[in-house]
Structure 1
Amino acid sequence: MKKFLFTLIITLLINPLLSSAQDLLQSGPMVGYSTMMEALLWVQTTKSAKVRFEYFEQNNPKKRFKTETYTTSAKDGFVAKLIANKILPGKKYNYELFINNKRVKRDYPMEFQSQSLWQWRTDPPEVNFAIGSCNYVNEERFDRPGRPYGSDHNIFHSIHKKDPDFMLWLGDNTYLREADWNSRTGFLHRYTHTRSLPEMQPLLASTHNYAIWDDHDFGPNDADGSYWLKETASEIFKLFWGNPNYDVIGEGGITGSFQWADLQFFLLDNRYYRTSNKNFTENRQMLGKKQIDWLINALASSQAPFKFIVIGGQVLSTEAWYENHATFADERHYLLQKIRDAKIEGVVFLDGDRHHTILSRYKENKDVYPLYDLTCSSLTAGAHNRKEPLNTNGIEDTFVGQHNFGILNVSGPRKDRVLKITIFDKDGNSLWTQNIRAKDLKYRR
């Protein structure tokens, strides 16, 4: 009888601990950046807890590795960012999450990959990555009254099924509201609420994620460099995303870069240094000269056949309204002229913001190659069906006015890489496809 009572007491004590490990998971886990020798793993708990990850090669599950253990705290939104630093190039790994030394089970794959060491050995690998922008997750008590602004959140299941190597979030990844943007508490609340969306969790857990911001995850609508909490905005953005670097120009903000295979991505900040849209009393800027000059230098040193410039707002649209770069005409001219003067090849712009998708093409004369600008929006926020009658650079039949996302595939031998752009609807059905050869993004010799 004593033995039975002892067993019963132990069982009653242990069972709550087992269930509490699941209950302590707020959002994630999420996979951040990947390199050949390390990858970032992210998770958020509901309250202070000890967190670690264990991981192993998919074809060698007996040899396990552990990250450091980190105790989450309210100060940092109960977020943990841990590094898997015992990986080797070109491997696929499964990982497990432990909270207070108890494994947390998920009903979807939890995996990541290391980048391949292909240089001097083979042609670069095929790359598939997803893009999208404008993600609104409803929260009735703080949202505007009336019809919910966010919908079709199952789009994240559709992206997950495409099995991209990584996803590139093009800004407005969450929407700050009046209750959110005046305090650090508000920032943490809104980022946490968005990140906890159930439909998003499988995608976050098995796809590497990189991000930039636009006005709605930076501050108020159309926010600029005068925003009073822009340093807080930068802090929280870095806390919730897993880019490999930020603020590479040393001026604040989130400017950065990363490589995947033979591709290079230049992540620009179109908010931190921005002149107000309504201020015409000074030299107007969206990016700022220092950021542009860094970009040109970085582009010039890049060997990538496709150089993706990632920015929150449209660059090549000729519609000079809303927040397009055309409303900062002098700065846009400076940027495009510097790209031409430096003879930089392979440039493709990726952006969001506009709540519709369109591919724009810009070519000033026969002696230069065309620049492309792919706008991809919206994921779940209200979509716009109004076409761009004033965007003379827009390519016919590429306009999409419904919730959508893009999958970009780069394949082919090292000297003949091809970019295939496919835009999908919320259910994963193809809407249009366009191919661009790296050879066609070069100057005449």
Structure 2
Amino acid sequence: MKQFYILLAVLGIFSACKKEAGKTVETEEQSAPDFVVAFGSCNMAQEPNSFWDDILAEDPDVWIWGGDIVYADTDDVERLRSIYAMQDTVAGYAKLRNEVPIIGTWDDHDFGVNDGGSDFAIKAESQQVFLDFMGVPEASARRDQDGVYAAHEYEVPAGKVKVIVLDTRYFRSELIKDEDSNKRYKPSMDSTATVLGKAQWQWLENELNRSDADFNLIMSSIQVLSGEHGFETWGNFPLEIEKLENMIAQSKAKGVMILSGDRHISEFSRNDVAGLSYPLVDFTSSGLTHSYSSFSGEPNQYRVGEVVSDKSYGVIAFDFEKKEADMKMKGDNGVVLQELKQTY
């Protein structure tokens, strides 16, 4: 009988230890974010994209194309249309499209010409093909304006997010080739040179000034803050960067951040702008189906963390109460490659 009680005691102790051990491995369940944005760029319809199921698993409130949705590089409108159609046949993307609102902009390869700008001969026709792909109604005012820029507002019980999608192609002035170094382009100080064009600049100013959103995301396709590498960037037009930063600061819009793509790398850039009560972040997410795998380094005085040269997509989770944006670069199966949290 004594041995029986000893056995019970041992079992009781074991059970208690097991229970206590269970507490140590329990993780506090994370509360769901108030709003989730997923975005990416540089996507070849002909190449496998392993991220669509991962992106859908993020349960995003919106997917934002950052440009180079397809690689067409053509002035043949029907060929351009057929390449977009190829993207629509991708099963993973079709599923995302059916479940999540999709917005975005173009960059050079879906615009129709590498590093292309305002002098591209079929830009008006290309715009209509792009709008067709994005499902923009025939009666939309976007069908009549020059350029694919647009603003979208999303309101949830906790607050509001505004996404301002820019067109950095339709109006962009000619780039200046750099014949004196190993860089492709050099900055222009011409006061008449532009990235956005007069009408789009006026529109952007109005969208920022009247915004009552808790967070304002500006999708730029090309990088804004990283301007030293000599490829395409707002850095080729320093006066335009100054104009953009001043406009953001003077607007008093809350929680403004830049999203960009184009580079086949992902990185965070951050700069303190005069008159702005929070740092301006440029979150570059680029390389959905192919990336700059041979990347060996380049200067960026505003970089935070390291460059990610693996294929990736971007996710931003917003907490309206904390006024916080949790930005993550993610790889296959949702693996976090790098993270940056910013309070506004």
TM range (shorter): 0.7 to 0.9
Q: Which residue of 1 aligns with 2:335?
A: 429
Question: Shift of the alpha carbon at 1:257?
Answer: 0.3
Is residue 237 from structure 1 mapped to residue 133 from structure 2 by the alignment?
A: no
Q: Is the 8 A contact 1:318 1:393 kept in 2?
A: no
Q: Which residue of 2 aligns with 1:299?
A: 208
**Cα distance, 1:360–1:241 mapped onto 2, change above 3 Å:** same
Deviations 1:144-177 (A, max 9, x none): xxxxxx44x1221221222222211110011104
Q: Which residue of 2 aligns with 1:357?
A: 266
| Identical pairs, percent | 27
Q: Which residue of 2 aligns with 1:222?
A: 115
Structure 2, unaligned runs of 5 or more? 1-32, 178-187
Is residue 200 from structure 1 mapped to residue 93 from structure 2 by the alignment?
A: yes
Q: Which residue of 2 aligns with 1:258?
A: 152
Deviations 1:197-248 (A, max 9, x none): 2332222221211111111111111111111110111000110103589766
Q: Which residue of 1 aligns with 2:315?
A: 407
Q: Which residue of 1 aligns with 2:171?
A: 273
Q: Is the 8 A contact 2:227 2:236 kept in 1?
A: no
Is residue 170 from structure 1 mapped to residue 61 from structure 2 by the alignment?
A: no
Q: Name the SS for the 1:372 alignment partner.
A: strand
Amino acid at match of 2:79: G
Q: Name the SS for the 1:235 alignment partner.
A: helix
Which one has the bigger helix percentage? 2
What CA distance in whole angstroms lies between the structure 1 residues aligned with 2:141 and 2:303?
A: 32
Match runs of 1:51-200 below 5 Å: 126-138=34-46, 150-151=47-48, 153-177=49-73, 181-200=74-93
Q: Name the SS for the 1:252 alignment partner.
A: coil
What CA distance in whole angstroms lies between the structure 2 residues aligned with 1:355 and 1:161?
A: 23
The farther-off stretch of 317-326 and 245-254 is: 245-254
Q: Name the SS for the 2:244 alignment partner.
A: helix
Deviations 1:231-269 (A, max 9, x none): 111000110103589766964111110111201011110
**Cα distance, 1:249–1:286 mapped onto 2, change above 3 Å:** farther
What CA distance in whole angstroms lies between the structure 2 residues aligned with 1:238 and 1:418?
A: 33
What CA distance in whole angstroms lies between the structure 2 residues aligned with 1:311 and 1:358?
A: 15
What CA distance in whole angstroms lies between the structure 2 residues aligned with 1:220 and 1:297?
A: 30
Q: Which residue of 1 aligns with 2:289?
A: 380
Q: Name the SS for the 2:305 alignment partner.
A: coil
What is the TM-score when the length of structure 2 is the normalising length?
A: 0.79
Structure 1, unaligned runs of 5 or more? 1-124, 139-149, 439-445
**Cα distance, 1:343–1:260 mapped onto 2, change above 3 Å:** closer
Q: Is the 8 A contact 1:383 1:401 kept in 2?
A: yes
Q: Is the 8 A contact 2:151 2:165 kept in 1?
A: yes
What CA distance in whole angstroms lies between the structure 2 residues aligned with 1:249 and 1:346?
A: 30
What CA distance in whole angstroms lies between the structure 2 residues aligned with 1:211 and 1:327?
A: 23
Deviations 1:383-426 (A, max 9, x none): 345265321001023x210111112111243xx43211122102
Q: Name the SS for the 2:327 alignment partner.
A: strand
What CA distance in whole angstroms lies between the structure 2 residues aligned with 1:335 and 1:172?
A: 23
Question: Shift of the alpha carbon at 1:368?
Answer: 4.3
What CA distance in whole angstroms lies between the structure 1 residues aligned with 2:316 and 2:227?
A: 24
What CA distance in whole angstroms lies between the structure 2 residues aligned with 1:266 and 1:206?
A: 22
Q: Is the 8 A contact 1:379 1:403 kept in 2?
A: yes
What CA distance in whole angstroms lies between the structure 1 residues aligned with 2:267 and 2:136?
A: 26
Deviations 1:268-318 (A, max 9, x none): 100011112138688221112331232122111111121111111000113
What CA distance in whole angstroms lies between the structure 2 residues aligned with 1:365 and 1:239?
A: 40
Q: Is the 8 A contact 2:38 2:315 kept in 1?
A: yes
Q: Is the 8 A contact 2:264 2:292 kept in 1?
A: yes
What CA distance in whole angstroms lies between the structure 1 residues aligned with 2:173 and 2:338?
A: 36
**Cα distance, 1:243–1:358 mapped onto 2, change above 3 Å:** farther
